[in-house]
Structure 1
Amino acid sequence: MGLKAIAGSTASAIGRGFRATYHFLQSILLPLGAILALAEALYLAWIDKLGGAGVAAALFVLIFLFKHFPQLESFKGLGIEAKLRERLKEADDIIASIRQLSLVSAQQSYLQLAWMNRLGTPSNADKRALSGRFQDLLRHLKISEAEIEEARRPLIAMNLYDLWLQVYRVLSERVNYRIKQLTKERQSLVPAGTPMQVGSAEYARACQIDEETRRLREALEFDSERMLNDVLDLDRDPFGGVVKRVGLGAEDTPILLGYATKALALARDIKKSGGMTDEAEAFIGENKHNETARAYRELFSE
């Protein structure tokens, strides 16, 4: 027999010896000590030595508690009430840990669902199914709705952001169209190669065109990280907000606001359902460039 086998056998024997000794102390010596302490307390009380009887009685109570502490829900004696919940507390701690682990896991899963494979697979239907399973699990574990809402926040934010980007792309197309019109107008103010006279009507109009072009381009700028947060506040209507901020004029703005209103309604459905809906998915389209061109033609008949 090798040294490792001998060492393992010895360690196992020592472990069994300790367990046997502990079992002997708990099952025999502790009950015997409790009986002797109780007998001593009764004897001392019988001979009117109440102080010693009280000490012996307290010793009996301590031995009893030491042996049965894990099994007791409560104990009352000698005017003392002690709540003993070791086993129940351990169970509660385990359940709390499982809840916390489940919440963290769900947060990570929602985040992965939001970012995974942005080229189109898995499908939004698959994402919705997984999201529903997460929610059911968290509710079964008594996770609060507020915590669930916070866990799935990245997924909802990304879905709403995708919807917002579709409105933004159509808006950008119209802005670029208007900038091209302004550029052509500026070029037509004076014949090619002819210097523009400062102070002339043509010069004033050219300055207006330059300012409007600059304003439109600046109005289209946005911070994507900030928008991921802003798009969650549907009461402030981030869809119609960007259309109003750009301000294309009385001809284009009502048309674009109508398109943004449709997006806002779809966004409310996304928030309510907890994920991308079929209608919102159709609004965005599988090929975003083609859908943007189609929506633009439909809106402006061009």
Structure 2
Amino acid sequence: MDADKVRDIVTYTAGAVAVFSLIGALFQSMTKSNGSALPTLLVCAIACVIVFLPMIQQVSFYGVETRMKDKVTEVKAIEDQIKKVAEINARVSYMNIGWGNRLGSPSALDKQAMLDEIDSQLRDLKISDADRKALSATYVKLIGFDFYMMYVRTLERYFSFRQQAMQSEVNKDSGSPVKNELDRWKAGMPSWKPNYTMFENLGTYSFEDEINRVTPTGWLSEADQKATDLYKREIIRLFRSVEEKGGYTKEAAEYYDRYHDLGGSDKKIIQLFGFNPSAVR
């Protein structure tokens, strides 16, 4: 038989014994029959202990602490956690409002650190992984947009300055071997069309599809194509880690902070293509 059922049967039986013992004690007192009512009351007391013992959490010197006190403590702990979440959310809101429409902003690493605090509290509140990812879905899409624009701006800057450098060389020497590459470049460049409206479709765009679509093929030199494909794989790998986490990973945040601005674009171009746009005059 199930242990809970046995316990219930014992409890109900003890309760019945307590009730009948109490009735018997009252009857003895009222009828003034021979014998003391004390033994009957004692039986009643023991039965009551059996009934209420499972409800007692612990006995202290000052009295009995019941489950109700335990429940109050539980509610208080949840209340404290909710307060922490509210405080963190307030900090994030103040940060966003304070930095809105300004030239500078906190780093991706700093912003993610604050959001990680929120995620930690949501875990403590037993919010499921699926629900937490749903809460961060738009944020992840925004990160994807930022990574896409970083990728596009870096390539755009390289293509523009590289073409300018080749043109300058051909202008100096019309017989330069660079002329064939420049002609191929000029023929292929118009087919390169970044999706600048991606922000308007945050909920539906596919990051990998957009990155693959904007990665040029066919008109770059072999070396440039290899470098561009390497950059594409790097960006896709980082964004996959962002999707899996539901926010910036440490690596992705540091990468974005390092390469998203103009100086960072030049660093990445030098790394990938061995070409310095700032040196072009």
TM-score (norm 1): 0.45
TM-score (norm 2): 0.48
Larger Rg: 1
